[in-house]
Amino acid sequence: MNEVTHQRIKTNGIWLHIAEQGTGPLVLLLHGFPELWYSWRHQITFLASHGYHVVAPDLRGCGDSDAPLSPSSYSVMHLVGDIIGLLDHFQQQQAFVVGHDWGALIGWHLCLFRPDRIKGLINLSVPHFDRNPKAKFVDSLNKIYGDGLYICQFQEPGRAERAFARYDYLTVMKKFLLITQTENLIAPPGMEIIDYLETPSRLPPWITEEELQVFADKFQESGFTGALNYYRAMDLNWELTAPWQGSKIMVPVKFLVGEKDIGFETNGVRDYVQGDVFRILVPNLEVVILDGHHFIQQEKPQQVSQEILSFLRKFPAE
């Protein structure tokens, strides 16, 4: 089998860096925050070895992809447009999409905006919620959690970047990628979230210092502004997605989440994922709860890879 190769592709007016391996049906792997294509290192080789053409981009603003300066260039319209451009580049009418964290949000919106281009979706960690017509997303969070919530702190351009700069890049990666506790996402009054997050004294067995350094080195090159701009476009997304209010996602979906994921443990998300409303919005849905935390594809690579493969194999070969 061929090795992982890298190239940059022009799509939707920007250049995206992609890692790819294998031949067969196209599978796109979309990462989250603060991550890169490298988050999928385990799944790329596994899926390629089972007969798939696997493509993992650095999403706009991250890694070796272009990073437009304006937060308004990070709306879900732009993000979905980038992925449609990748499909067009590979001359594929349809692809499978696997998304985690922000990549999951892109996956949900791909299915809302362009279901004709998606064969099936496997999303990790972030479920689909219907848009609240009465309040902007960040405003709602601010009223519930206050300024200590990381999403609220990320809104002001430059604020998080200045706070992150008090640490070396490897420490920032450790603070985010190794997060485990619910309260870690909300800093006490007057404290920045990066100061509140703990730096683990020992690494968990699923990631090495060298692997963390790969993330650190790339963010040292690019800075964090591109990745943070996703959060700064959240209320713009709320405005732009009004036409899809109440829309159902009819694409076949498998949703994977870690039992100890910080997002799964808070604000009724567990009940939502296991309840009826999620299934009304996503009728063709399978939910799998794994033993793990938020960055589940890195923490439990074999289980996640097998879950993805079992879903892909439900579709007839072309």
Residues annotated as catalytic are: 101, 231, 294
Residues 33, 59: contact at Cβ < 8 Å?
Answer: no
- Only one residue has tokens 């485990």, namely 180
What residues have CB less than 8 Å from 268, skipping those under 6 apart?
none
Take residue 303 and report the two structure tokens written for it.
């289980």
Q: What is the dihedral of CA 306, 311, 313, 316, to 10 degrees?
A: -170
- The 3-state secondary structure of the chain reads CCCCEEEEEEECCEEEEEEEECCCCEEEEECCCCCCHHHHHHHHHHHHHCCCEEEEECCCCCCCCCCCCCHHHHCHHHHHHHHHHHHHHCCCCCEEEEEECHHHHHHHHHHHHCHHHEEEEEEECCCCCCCCCCCCHHHHHHHHHCCCEHHHHCCCCCHHHHHHCCCCHHHHHHHHHCCCCHHHHECCCCCCHHHHCCCCCCCCCCCCHHHHHHHHHHHHHHCCHHHHHHHHCHHHHHHHCHHHCCCCCCCCEEEEEECCCHHHHCCCHHHHHHCHHHHHHCCCEEEEEECCCCCHHHHCHHHHHHHHHHHHCCCCCC
Residues 101, 35: contact at Cβ < 8 Å?
Answer: yes
Residues 67, 60: contact at Cβ < 8 Å?
Answer: yes
